[in-house]
Amino acid sequence: MPSSEGPLLHRRRLGAELRRLRGERTLEEVAEATLISTSKLSRLENGQGVPQPRDIRDLVNFYRLDAQIAERLRRWASAGRSQAWWREYSDALFTGLATYVDYESGASTIRSFAAAVVPPLLQTEAYAVELYRVLPAIKTDESARRVLEVRARRQHLLVESDDAPQLIFVLDESVLRRPFGSPDDVREQLDHLHSVSRQRNVSLRVVPFSGGLHAGLVGLFTILQYADDRDRDVVAVESHTGERILEQPSNVLEYLRIFDAITRKALDHDESRALIAEIRDRTTHSPKGTP
């Protein structure tokens, strides 16, 4: 079975190590000695090329690497050629989602803010079905079904599994109050948020309306952070045209500052759960099921 961690992360690790090993040498020097083109070397060092065994062999020999480092490079290269489990859904994944899932698959901490919709990792199936009906990228029922399968697999690996990463969610109160589907669907989603918020690896906090305006009102973004220093943290910003990945450290730092500013306006964990329960109960007693 394919690894739950995507090939992109292994290519990035391999690239970071190859850049370190090259040191002060130019790409041209390494290319001339190994007979690997400078364009291929550049792609490998940037985590964009598919690493071939012969290229790794030649680089190992050129850099005179010890057995331990050489094996690490071979392992990353092999994993970088692997097929991710979501590859079979590539026909249904809208722009940027496959790349985002690749980044997401190896994160040790995921920080996500949502101003309008429940983040995918916290959605019930009924919520996701209603959302997919209004998303322009989902054009057929079959596409929706396949994207639902990807969402369910992501939830299992990142929310429910024993080695799940740390998940930190901050939601605007409007996320909880936006009606969709039937009253039972709304209550199911609120119950699910309340339940998930108690899991050991999940932190869920709500920014109440009383907090006023805040920096996150422009939309949904997710910060993906990694335990391995070779993996550069990234930010994913969601829009109608898909996920936009920001890799520059300055961008990541700015979004961390924004996330911290939003979090300071949020209720604490117990207060957030109490608000979710209050809105759920109000929905239960509302004749129209409106939050």
Task: Give the per-residue SS3 of 70-126.
Answer: HHHHHHHHHHHCCCCHHHHHCCCCCCCHHHHHHHHHCCCEEEEEECCCCCHHHCCHH
Per-residue confidence band for 3, with pLDDT thresholds at 50, 70 and 90: low
Interval 182-210: pLDDT, tens: 999 999 999 999 999 999 999 999 999 98
| Bridge partner residues of 206 (DSSP) | 171
The pLDDT of residue 29 is 96
- Provide, rounded to the nearest whole percent, the portion of the chain with pLDDT above 90: 72
The pLDDT of residue 282 is 86
| Bridge partner residues of 172 (DSSP) | 207
Interval 6-24: pLDDT, tens: 899 999 999 999 999 999 9
Interval 148-174: pLDDT, tens: 999 999 999 999 888 899 999 999 999
The pLDDT of residue 13 is 93
Q: Encode burial over 21-30: b for 16+ CB neighbours within 10 A, e otherwise.
A: bbeeeebeeb
Residues 39-59 have a mean pLDDT of 94
Residue ranges and CATH numbers for the domains of the chain are: 7-80 (1.10.260.40), 85-285 (3.30.870)
Please give the model's pTM, rounded to 2 decimal places: 0.84
Interval 87-134: pLDDT, tens: 888 888 876 888 899 999 999 999 999 998 999 999 999 999 999 888
Instruction: Quickly tell me which residue has 């500052």 as its tokens.
Output: 257
- Residue 1 clears pLDDT 50, i.e. is over it: no
